[in-house]
Chains A and B, each alone.
Chain A
Amino acid sequence: MGSPRRMSARRCNGGRWHGRPATTAPLPCSQATGVSAPLRPNAGQRGKIGGGPWAPLAIRDASAGGNWSGRLYTVVLQHERTRPLCTAELLQCWNSVMATCLSTDLTGLTIRQTVPLATTHAESHIVLRLPLVCQGPLRDTLFVLVAAGFAIAPSSFAFYSWGGSLSNIKRPCPQDKKNLGSVLSIRYSLDLKHLAIQRSSHEIQFCNKETGDIFSQKCRSESESILGFFWTDCPTCDIFFVKTSGLELYTYGTESRNLQLVQTKKLSISWYIYTHESRLVLLASGIQCKSFTDFQLSYAGMISLPKFEMAMAKSEANSKPILAAEDVHIITVYGRIYCLQFDRIARLLNSYRFYRDAVVQQGSLPVYSDRIAVSVVDNVLLVHQAEAKVVIVYDIYADSQEQISAPLPLFLRGYSKANVAFSQTAGKTSGASEPRNLSDTKETTYGDQWKFLVPDLVLDVSNGSLWKISLDLEGISASSSEVQLILEFLQRRKLEAEKAKQLSLAIVRTIILERKQIHMVARAMDVLLAAYSQAINSGSYNKRSRTEEISSSNTLNASVDESITGIDVSRSINQKPESVPGNDSHNRSVMATSDLKTLVPANNQLNSTAPQRNQSLLTSSAATSPADFYSHVFSPIEEEMTGDGSYLTAITIEFLRSCSLEKLKVYPNTYALLVQILARDERYAELGLFIMNKIIEPSKEVAVQLLDSGRQNQQIRKLGLDILRQLSLHHDYVLLLVQDGYYLQALRYARKNKVKTVMPSLFLEAAYISKDPQHIAAVLRFFSDFIPALRAVPTTTHIITLLLSTLFFFRNRLLSSFVYDWLSTCG
């Protein structure tokens, strides 16, 4: 199961560049080579479980016992039904997942499941999904490794995961426990083999997880202190330290026992920011901390980028505001790297774009709050206005900085009170536990204790829950009336591509049903087909299944880690759940069999979700093909709009124009539908014109539809026949000629084109019906001349009967002698 998945997970994130200026080359993100991005349950299993709304499952490994090993794994499972999976099904799913991923035997299990809330709230467009609720003895420290999708609480060694299973991490070994002490931050190396623990501002301890070797790296002089450290995939070094005196790059020494200094960049540093996604480190210096030295530590080595200064507004003439680290954010959207600087005085969010040889200010976004936060979800920039408790969505594409929709509050979805309640219910011995609801637990958005983790996580310290931000595409598309803009926005979405695709089609369908002006519909279709054409050209559409892995995890393949200290999550467990009867359709705790669940102590509960992916259809692109248009737009609306043929025709023509503009092949049934619409409105002249001008391209579907519609109109039928002939569908053509009574022509045609599949008896019957002895003789003559083996034809007896009745009917001497001759040769 390892190799193909791992390969796809290692695909680089770079390579998509938009809006590249002519002079300055943009700065690419570094390639994520060597990064073991979090692994997910393999595709085969997901496929088996099926598509539909996802349902995250939390599983608890109860077999090991003890606090430290109380791990929780989360794997995204899907099921198509709205009802929750039954326990047996869950166990079955889990069994396969665990057996393949973790080699864990399932002797003791507690399973609970959360069904996502199906309700959509049009008044919000950003949703926080399924909080990760930490209820355990996590009293002081929680280290969240965003990239790997898990969190570690070192003091208790609780281990949280939401990014999927971690097959290549062994269970934390007991000796780790001994190392607990003063911990400032922990970082796993990119290959997850080493663990770096910052013990103090002067010392970092390294632990080899395989050999168990431990060594420490300390600062040489007391004057300098370590601001931070990062693992890197730069070929020249493995880890770099940011110290007050500068940047130091190290490689692992022989046998991984020590670090060797590779390079030093001397400069005085006040603070720094780094994201692994961009591989960019910004080093702030100066009194106001607004002068920046920036390096990119990419697969190409360390690149020194131009220094720059950030502009800051002054409140008074002499005041010198100092830029703080939390006011600067590095974001990566559409493969471009930006730096956002929050100017508190001017209330502006200035954006700077990084190019290889320049840093260019791109403009400013307005800010309506003193406290803001920035997240990036699926290349969409979210600016949280914490005080106003709203979020503004920007899609920074092609240098447009327009907000997508009006500022709206966050919506917490899937905040199941039962998640919290689980710790209590788990202790009970009853069979099916009642779903619990904590009415007094209020999740307030943008509380003071909210920590925003790059790129899309929110840690609510006060409640001990971790939220993942996701876009509510339905909400966004419902809240905007700018059809063209919203379609372009949807087409750029990768994370929920299938949903974006369905939404796009639904929008087009809706505007047609609402009989919006044709040019508006045409523009909408232009947008979608242009996106499709682009997807085809770039190959992302055809490689759906392969690219799914990387593109859906934009945020994950470039691992970014953050360390948060001093989080008190203990409060949440003290809150008592209240049972709310009847609230079981969405939030339900499904307990495993009673003998299993008692084994588990009710701590370290973690209910989380993996980043959402499109499991069932494996679509990486929201692109809509012409065939999709037929099946999702034209075919459904045709039935609803039977009375408005001319409007539908106009729409279809615009669709064809769009297709021909993008040089796309139109799905033949679309033409057939157009024929049907025109014929129903008896617009035969136009239909003829369309066929003649090849606006309706000839195909068998069209021919069949023409013949079908041609029952009312002979000319339309002829057009159908002509298409059959042009497409060399000889058999059908000959049959239809015979049917129309042109059997002599049919015979000639059949001879010329060597059509042997039409039964001779058909011709004879047709001739017989014409009651013209000459014709019958001609047909007979034809067959006796050109098909000597007529006797072998199984219908011969039938023919003979036919002939005899012919003889009887006509009593024509010439014909009789001919038939007698013929019959005698047949024997």
Chain B
Amino acid sequence: MGLTSESDAKEAMKLCMFDLRRGQTEGQELDKILFFYPADLPITNQLSVIGLSEGLITFTRIFSPDAPCEVIEAEKHCHVFYEVEADIWMVMVVEKENPESIWRVDALRSVLKEIHSLFVMFHGYIRALVDKEPSGGLVRSHLYYFIMDFLSDFSIGKKLQLPNFRDSLKEQGTLQMLTVGREAAIEVQSLVTLLESCVGNKQCYSMTMFQDLLVSTNLSPIDTLNLFTYAVLRLTPIALFRGASAWSSLRKTDTACSTYAGALQVTSISAIDQYYNSHDPPSLRRHNYPLVRPLQHSKWSKGKDGFLTTDIWGTEVNSLLPMCPTIWLHLTEEKMFLLAYQHRGLTVILLVPVSSVSGDQGISMLKQQIIENASLKMLKVEEKLSRGWGGENAYHVSGYRYLLVDGDRYVSRASPPGKVTTLTKESLVALSKLREEVDLEKARAKWDNSGREKDIEICIRAKNNSWLIARLVRGKELYMVLEKGSETLLFAADATEKFSERYCNGAFSLD
């Protein structure tokens, strides 16, 4: 019936979060567990997963106190560790038996990272929640609904589809940006200024998106990333469309150039809700916490005034008006109201400090002001952007399947997913392995801490005669798959050079 039907025998993936500072006395081990998926796994099994993880962490800490354990590669399983906050760990256990189960550890870990950073954005730090209510009920219920909602995005049918080798030309946890002309960029910036002036003297932030690509922002990189991820999941026109038509928001199509038609999988949203009802852990039922489920599906809709509305954050006590959503900023730990205005492809998200606006009345006044002063300009900007927008295959480069990552700014650009699917499985598996190697190399360079990035250049001829290329130059990464290429290395080098000159301003040209 739900995600974890009993008839499926075993869930292919386990995900848990535990706090090493809790339950340190015999018999209190259950207290450690903050979250476990699947929730209906027998407690003993849950405890054994956590016990193993804890044991490994403790053991490896002896040798490497700063970075204890990252991954366990067993014959049939792979445990991915991630310390989200001090002494709070997330562990993901994935199976390896399935032919599709070829994982890249960094990609899996980035899922864990994403869960945590989004959670923090909405609910604040886990440690703070734990401290707020030592019994753990508050944090557990928050985590439970949040992560379940999050995972529902990965569900295909009855199974969870985590990023595997097929996603190796994709970088989790990066922004996808729209390339805009100078004139349009200035126009957007001018709009941002105008919006800020609507808010008044208080410091506010904004993020402008077109379709699900980022155009401009003045947020810090981490906040940008979190908000961008959330917007792509729930706020962009495509996400709204998905929500409205109750289609599954399949992660696979969540990339820059999404195809509506690609999301044809039948929904499992209702299934999840059912699951909640029947599987709510007894511990959660006992408390009646005001729950906010920001990742809940089909909750956002576009209002008549162009602003996106949701009742996720509840409604006002004496009116039916929904409360304005709030999020936490990462760096300043400031609570901000989130206002999202949408006009066709353009989504403008405005973050206003809660402290500066007097309740919902202030918000509605602010909205009014924005509509009065800025809506015309937004119309103009949208027009300008959509004129310059090349469609979902705008960033396709014929002959190349590529992934470009700018690690400094958390920005990536890749071949459109529709084009990546034309690659053979062999190429993708090989690329996944190559990337795994590069990840290792990068991590090693980081530990060496020589103070500068390592430049790497790898060209591999795979078994199926495709060229796999990885180039890391001063913080920028380029991965490419060239099928149907000639067999000389010179060809591969030339192809990379050409690509670099034409599309990366020569950033990857070495000589």
Decide whether A and B assemble into one complex. Answer: yes
Residues of A within 8 A of B (CB): 517-519, 522, 646, 650, 653-654, 656-657, 660, 683, 685-686, 688-690, 692-695, 697, 715, 718, 722, 725-726, 740-742, 745, 748-749, 751-752
Interface 1/0 per residue, B169-188 and A, CB below 8 Å: 00000000100101101110
Known: A694-B182, A695-B186. A650 touches B193 (CB 8 A): yes
Q: Does B226 count as interface, using CB distance less than 8 angstroms?
A: no
Contact of A660 among B180, B186, B219 (CB under 8 A): B186
- 5 examples of A-B residue contacts, CB within 8 angstroms: A685-B218, A693-B182, A694-B182, A695-B182, A751-B511
Q: Does B427 count as interface, using CB distance less than 8 angstroms?
A: no
CA distance A722 to B190 in the complex (A): 26
How far is the CB of A657 from the nearest CB of chain B, in Å? 5
Contact A697 B182 (CB under 8 A): yes
Contact B186 A752 (CB under 8 A): no
Contact B475 A693 (CB under 8 A): no
Which residues of chain B are near A692, meaning CB under 8 Å? Answer: 177
Contact B182 A686 (CB under 8 A): no
Q: Does B197 count as interface, using CB distance less than 8 angstroms?
A: yes
Known: A650-B193, A654-B190, A693-B185. A685 touches B511 (CB 8 A): no
Contact A695 B185 (CB under 8 A): yes
Which residues of chain B are near A656, meaning CB under 8 Å? Answer: 186
Can you name the residue of chain B whose Cβ is closest to the Cβ of A697? B182
Can you name the residue of chain B whose Cβ is closest to the Cβ of A695? B185
Contact A752 B511 (CB under 8 A): yes
Contact B186 A718 (CB under 8 A): no
Which residues of chain B are near A685, meaning CB under 8 Å? Answer: 217-221, 224, 409
**Contact residues of B between 222 and 246, Cβ < 8 Å to A:** 224
CA distance A686 to B205 in the complex (A): 12
How far is the CB of B356 from the nearest CB of chain A, in Å? 15
Which residues of chain B are near A646, meaning CB under 8 Å? Answer: 196, 203
B182, B221, B224 interface centre (most CB from chain A within 10 Å): B182
Q: Does B97 count as interface, using CB distance less than 8 angstroms?
A: no
Which residues of chain A are near B507, meaning CB under 8 Å? Answer: 722
Known: A725-B506, A726-B505. A518 touches B408 (CB 8 A): no
Which residues of chain A are near B291, meaning CB under 8 Å? Answer: none
CA distance A120 to B187 in the complex (A): 41
CA distance A373 to B172 in the complex (A): 78
CA distance A177 to B433 in the complex (A): 112
CA distance A165 to B395 in the complex (A): 72
Which residues of chain B are near A726, meaning CB under 8 Å? Answer: 505-506
Contact of A518 among B180, B182, B197, B224 (CB under 8 A): B197
Known: A685-B217, A693-B180, A751-B511. A517 touches B197 (CB 8 A): yes
**Contact residues of B between 93 and 122, Cβ < 8 Å to A:** none
Q: Does B189 count as interface, using CB distance less than 8 angstroms?
A: yes
Which residues of chain A are near B396, meaning CB under 8 Å? Answer: none
CA distance A726 to B203 in the complex (A): 35
Which residues of chain A are near B475, meaning CB under 8 Å? Answer: 715, 718
Can you name the residue of chain A whose Cβ is closest to the Cβ of B411? A692
Known: A685-B224, A725-B506. A653 touches B193 (CB 8 A): yes
Contact B183 A660 (CB under 8 A): yes
CA distance A688 to B475 in the complex (A): 14
Known: A695-B182, A718-B474, A748-B510. A689 touches B216 (CB 8 A): yes
Can you name the residue of chain A whose Cβ is closest to the Cβ of B410? A685
How far is the CB of A749 from the nearest CB of chain B, in Å? 7
Which residues of chain A are near B183, meaning CB under 8 Å? Answer: 660
Which residues of chain A are near B190, meaning CB under 8 Å? Answer: 522, 653-654, 657
Can you name the residue of chain B whose Cβ is closest to the Cβ of A721? B474
Which residues of chain B are near A519, meaning CB under 8 Å? Answer: 194, 197
CA distance A650 to B511 in the complex (A): 40
Q: Does B455 count as interface, using CB distance less than 8 angstroms?
A: yes
Contact B506 A653 (CB under 8 A): no
Q: Does B387 count as interface, using CB distance less than 8 angstroms?
A: no
Q: Does B452 count as interface, using CB distance less than 8 angstroms?
A: yes
Which residues of chain B are near A660, meaning CB under 8 Å? Answer: 182-183, 186
Contact B452 A740 (CB under 8 A): yes
Contact B408 A718 (CB under 8 A): yes
CA distance A202 to B154 in the complex (A): 109
How far is the CB of A138 from the nearest CB of chain B, in Å? 64
Known pairs A653-B193, A686-B218, A725-B506. 20 more at Cβ < 8 A? A517-B197, A646-B196, A650-B196, A653-B186, A653-B189, A657-B186, A657-B187, A660-B186, A688-B408, A688-B409, A692-B177, A697-B182, A715-B475, A718-B474, A722-B507, A741-B452, A742-B452, A742-B455, A748-B511, A751-B511
Which residues of chain A are near B197, meaning CB under 8 Å? Answer: 517-519, 650
CA distance A715 to B186 in the complex (A): 22
Known: A657-B187, A695-B185, A695-B186. A689 touches B217 (CB 8 A): yes
Can you name the residue of chain A whose Cβ is closest to the Cβ of B218? A686
CA distance A276 to B500 in the complex (A): 70
Can you name the residue of chain A whose Cβ is closest to the Cβ of B197? A518
CA distance A688 to B455 in the complex (A): 22
Contact B185 A694 (CB under 8 A): yes
A522, A690, A692, A725 interface centre (most CB from chain B within 10 Å): A692
Interface 1/0 per residue, B450-493 and A, CB below 8 Å: 00100100000000000000000011000000000000000000
How far is the CB of A695 from the nearest CB of chain B, in Å? 5
Interface 1/0 per residue, B295-314 and A, CB below 8 Å: 00000000000000000000
Contact A722 B505 (CB under 8 A): yes
How far is the CB of A560 from the nearest CB of chain B, in Å? 48
Which residues of chain A are near B193, meaning CB under 8 Å? Answer: 518, 650, 653-654
Which residues of chain B are near A683, meaning CB under 8 Å? Answer: 218
Can you name the residue of chain A whose Cβ is closest to the Cβ of B452? A741
Can you name the residue of chain A whose Cβ is closest to the Cβ of B182? A694
**Contact residues of B between 276 and 296, Cβ < 8 Å to A:** none
Which residues of chain A are near B221, meaning CB under 8 Å? Answer: 685
Which residues of chain A are near B189, meaning CB under 8 Å? Answer: 653, 657, 690, 695
How far is the CB of B216 from the nearest CB of chain A, in Å? 6
Which residues of chain B are near A686, meaning CB under 8 Å? Answer: 217-218
CA distance A657 to B189 in the complex (A): 9
CA distance A522 to B191 in the complex (A): 12
CA distance A715 to B224 in the complex (A): 17
How far is the CB of A226 from the nearest CB of chain B, in Å? 65
Which residues of chain B are near A657, meaning CB under 8 Å? Answer: 186-187, 189-190
CA distance A660 to B185 in the complex (A): 11
Which residues of chain A are near B408, meaning CB under 8 Å? Answer: 688, 715, 718
How far is the CB of B204 from the nearest CB of chain A, in Å? 10
Which residues of chain A are near B474, meaning CB under 8 Å? Answer: 718, 742
Which residues of chain A are near B219, meaning CB under 8 Å? Answer: 685
A653, A741, A749 interface centre (most CB from chain B within 10 Å): A653
Can you name the residue of chain B whose Cβ is closest to the Cβ of A663? B183
A518, A522, A685, A749 interface centre (most CB from chain B within 10 Å): A685
Which residues of chain A are near B455, meaning CB under 8 Å? Answer: 742, 745
How far is the CB of B352 from the nearest CB of chain A, in Å? 15
Contact A745 B217 (CB under 8 A): no
How far is the CB of A716 from the nearest CB of chain B, in Å? 10
How far is the CB of B65 from the nearest CB of chain A, in Å? 27
Which residues of chain B are near A725, meaning CB under 8 Å? Answer: 505-506
Which residues of chain B are near A718, meaning CB under 8 Å? Answer: 408, 474-475
How far is the CB of A348 from the nearest CB of chain B, in Å? 40
Which residues of chain B are near A745, meaning CB under 8 Å? Answer: 455, 510
B186, B219, B506 interface centre (most CB from chain A within 10 Å): B186
Which residues of chain A are near B505, meaning CB under 8 Å? Answer: 722, 725-726
Which residues of chain B are near A653, meaning CB under 8 Å? Answer: 186, 189-190, 193
